[in-house]
Amino acid sequence: MHQLEAFTLGKKFGHPETNEDSLVVMPNMGYAVIDGVTDRNGTRYGDMLSGQFASRTVQRAIEIFLLAQGRSDQPEPAISGRRAFCRLSRQGHSCWLCCPRRAGGS
Protein backbone atom coordinates (compact mmCIF):
# COMPACT_ATOMS: atom_id res chain seq x y z
CA MET A 1 0.00 0.00 0.00
CA HIS A 2 1.20 3.51 -0.83
CA GLN A 3 0.20 6.62 1.02
CA LEU A 4 0.32 10.13 -0.38
CA GLU A 5 -0.16 13.24 1.69
CA ALA A 6 -0.62 16.66 0.16
CA PHE A 7 -1.31 20.08 1.61
CA THR A 8 -1.47 23.59 0.23
CA LEU A 9 -1.96 26.85 2.08
CA GLY A 10 -2.65 30.16 0.41
CA LYS A 11 -1.23 33.51 1.42
CA LYS A 12 -4.41 34.51 3.25
CA PHE A 13 -4.40 32.01 6.11
CA GLY A 14 -7.84 33.10 7.34
CA HIS A 15 -9.40 32.66 3.88
CA PRO A 16 -8.53 29.20 2.54
CA GLU A 17 -11.16 29.60 -0.19
CA THR A 18 -8.82 32.08 -1.94
CA ASN A 19 -5.98 29.55 -2.28
CA GLU A 20 -4.80 29.47 -5.93
CA ASP A 21 -2.76 26.26 -5.73
CA SER A 22 -3.92 22.98 -7.30
CA LEU A 23 -2.86 19.36 -7.22
CA VAL A 24 -3.17 16.55 -9.74
CA VAL A 25 -3.00 13.07 -8.25
CA MET A 26 -3.54 10.28 -10.74
CA PRO A 27 -1.82 7.13 -9.45
CA ASN A 28 0.24 5.29 -12.06
CA MET A 29 -0.34 8.17 -14.49
CA GLY A 30 1.11 11.36 -13.07
CA TYR A 31 1.28 13.92 -10.32
CA ALA A 32 1.53 17.69 -10.46
CA VAL A 33 1.67 20.62 -8.08
CA ILE A 34 0.44 23.85 -9.64
CA ASP A 35 1.60 26.98 -7.85
CA GLY A 36 -1.19 29.45 -8.57
CA VAL A 37 -0.79 33.10 -9.40
CA THR A 38 -1.81 35.53 -6.70
CA ASP A 39 -4.62 37.76 -7.91
CA ARG A 40 -3.88 41.38 -7.05
CA ASN A 41 -6.91 43.07 -8.63
CA GLY A 42 -9.79 40.89 -7.48
CA THR A 43 -10.71 39.96 -11.05
CA ARG A 44 -13.23 37.12 -11.14
CA TYR A 45 -14.19 34.54 -13.74
CA GLY A 46 -17.52 33.27 -12.56
CA ASP A 47 -17.08 32.56 -8.87
CA MET A 48 -13.27 32.16 -9.05
CA LEU A 49 -10.48 34.69 -8.65
CA SER A 50 -8.32 34.96 -11.78
CA GLY A 51 -5.41 33.13 -10.09
CA GLN A 52 -7.70 30.25 -9.16
CA PHE A 53 -9.15 30.15 -12.66
CA ALA A 54 -5.66 29.96 -14.18
CA SER A 55 -4.57 27.24 -11.75
CA ARG A 56 -7.72 25.14 -12.28
CA THR A 57 -7.40 25.49 -16.06
CA VAL A 58 -3.82 24.19 -15.93
CA GLN A 59 -4.95 21.41 -13.58
CA ARG A 60 -7.70 20.31 -15.99
CA ALA A 61 -5.36 20.41 -19.00
CA ILE A 62 -2.84 18.19 -17.17
CA GLU A 63 -5.58 15.72 -16.24
CA ILE A 64 -6.81 15.54 -19.85
CA PHE A 65 -3.24 15.17 -21.10
CA LEU A 66 -2.51 12.31 -18.68
CA LEU A 67 -5.76 10.51 -19.50
CA ALA A 68 -5.02 10.74 -23.24
CA GLN A 69 -1.66 8.96 -22.94
CA GLY A 70 -1.65 5.71 -24.89
CA ARG A 71 -5.24 6.00 -26.15
CA SER A 72 -5.62 5.51 -29.88
CA ASP A 73 -8.92 7.42 -29.93
CA GLN A 74 -7.20 10.59 -28.65
CA PRO A 75 -5.00 12.93 -30.68
CA GLU A 76 -1.25 12.66 -30.24
CA PRO A 77 -0.68 14.24 -26.81
CA ALA A 78 2.18 16.48 -27.86
CA ILE A 79 1.73 20.01 -26.59
CA SER A 80 3.53 22.99 -28.00
CA GLY A 81 2.36 26.55 -27.83
CA ARG A 82 -0.68 28.13 -26.31
CA ARG A 83 -3.14 27.06 -29.04
CA ALA A 84 -2.55 23.39 -28.16
CA PHE A 85 -3.01 24.19 -24.48
CA CYS A 86 -6.25 26.00 -25.27
CA ARG A 87 -7.59 22.93 -27.08
CA LEU A 88 -6.97 20.92 -23.92
CA SER A 89 -8.38 23.52 -21.55
CA ARG A 90 -11.66 24.03 -23.42
CA GLN A 91 -13.26 21.00 -21.86
CA GLY A 92 -15.12 22.59 -18.98
CA HIS A 93 -13.67 26.09 -19.33
CA SER A 94 -13.67 28.97 -21.75
CA CYS A 95 -10.50 29.41 -23.73
CA TRP A 96 -8.96 32.25 -21.74
CA LEU A 97 -5.46 32.11 -23.23
CA CYS A 98 -6.17 32.83 -26.88
CA CYS A 99 -9.75 34.12 -26.55
CA PRO A 100 -9.72 36.27 -23.37
CA ARG A 101 -13.00 37.97 -24.25
CA ARG A 102 -14.86 34.66 -23.88
CA ALA A 103 -13.64 33.94 -20.35
CA GLY A 104 -14.76 37.21 -18.78
CA GLY A 105 -18.03 37.34 -20.66
CA SER A 106 -17.17 40.62 -22.41
Within a domain: 28: yes
- Give residue 105's pLDDT: 42
pLDDT digits (tens, 9 = 90+) for 23-35: 999 888 889 999 8
Within a domain: 47: yes
- Give residue 64's pLDDT: 86
Within a domain: 9: no
Q: Residue 58: give the domain boundaries.
A: 16-104
Mind giving me the DSSP string for 20-43? Answer: --EEEEETTTEEEEE-PPPPSS--
Within a domain: 23: yes
> What is the arithmetic mean of pLDDT over 48-60?
89
- Give residue 29's pLDDT: 87
Within a domain: 35: yes
> What is the arithmetic mean of pLDDT over 7-24?
87
Within a domain: 68: yes
Choose between 98 and 46: higher pLDDT: 46
Give the chain's domain count.
1
Within a domain: 8: no
Within a domain: 10: no
